[in-house]
């Protein structure tokens, strides 16, 4: 069993599809467009997760939280830059409203790397909101949730 600590910082990273304030046509962003991201592994309850998202739309950037938003065919990706030079990203497959699937990666994207390990989440929007509410400032530890993101 793999144990993953999802810190309270994740609360601010719950699913959001709001658009950025910058002109998406002029922006490139760190993640390549047209690539497919495959999600596999386990969710927070150690249930199998699978998902696939192809990034199809140019990203938007929001300065207020240093976030890139990439739209895709069955979901989206969020890439967060940090003042420390680190970055994190997550890919959400939202093709099934009854079971949203996400993989959170706690390291920056690298053009040379094809596979990333992270923390997996799955459930309805309400179930995922409840996970984030439980984690909010509590230091609560979740067991399970190991996922892999592979791009092609």
Question: What residues pair up with 26 in beta bridges, in sequence order?
Answer: none
Determine which of 23-27, 28-32, 55-59 has the lowest per-residue pLDDT on average. 23-27
Query: Each residue of 56-65: pLDDT tens digit?
Result: 999 999 888 8
The answer to whether 47 and 62 are in contact (CB under 8 A) is: no
Query: Each residue of 90-142: pLDDT tens digit?
Result: 999 999 989 999 999 999 999 999 999 999 999 998 998 888 777 766 666 65
In terms of DSSP bridges, do strands 115-123 and 146-151 run parallel, antiparallel, or are they unpaired? antiparallel
Half-sphere exposure of residue 64: CA atoms within 13 angstroms, side-chain side: 5
Determine which of 7-21, 44-58, 107-121 has the lowest per-residue pLDDT on average. 7-21
Residues 6+ apart with CB under 8 A from 63: 21, 22
Check whether 81 has a pLDDT greater than 50: yes
pTM for the model stands at: 0.77
143 pLDDT band, cuts 50/70/90, is low
Q: Where are the domains of the chain?
A: 3-15+29-151
Determine which of 6-10, 106-110, 145-149 has the lowest per-residue pLDDT on average. 6-10
- Three-state secondary structure along the chain? CCEECCCHHHHHHCCCCCCCCCCHHHCCCCCCCCCEEEEEEECCCCCEEEEEEEECCCCEEEHHHCEEEEEECCEEEEEEECCCCCEEEEEEECCCCCCEEEEEECCCCCCCCCEEEEEEEEECHHHHHHHHHHHCCCCCCEECCEEEEEEC
Query: Each residue of 123-136: pLDDT tens digit?
Result: 998 998 888 777 76
Q: Average per-residue pLDDT in the chain?
A: 81
């Amino acid at each position: 069993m793999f144990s993953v600590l999802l810190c309270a910082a994740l609360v601010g990273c719950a699913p959001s599809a709001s658009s950025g304030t910058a002109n998406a046509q002029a922006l490139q962003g760190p993640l390549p467009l047209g690539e497919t991201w495959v999600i596999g592994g386990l969710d927070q309850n150690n249930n199998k997760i699978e998902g696939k998202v192809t990034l199809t739309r140019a990203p938007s950037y929001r300065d207020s939280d240093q976030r890139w938003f990439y739209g895709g065919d069955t979901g989206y990706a969020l890439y967060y830059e940090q003042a420390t030079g680190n970055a994190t990203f997550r890919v959400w497959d939202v093709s099934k409203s009854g079971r949203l699937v996400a993989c959170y990666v706690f390291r920056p994207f690298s053009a040379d790397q094809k596979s990333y390990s992270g923390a997996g989440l799955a459930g309805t929007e309400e179930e995922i909101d409840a996970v984030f509410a439980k984690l909010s400032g509590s230091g609560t530890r979740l067991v399970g949730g190991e996922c892999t993101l592979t791009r092609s």
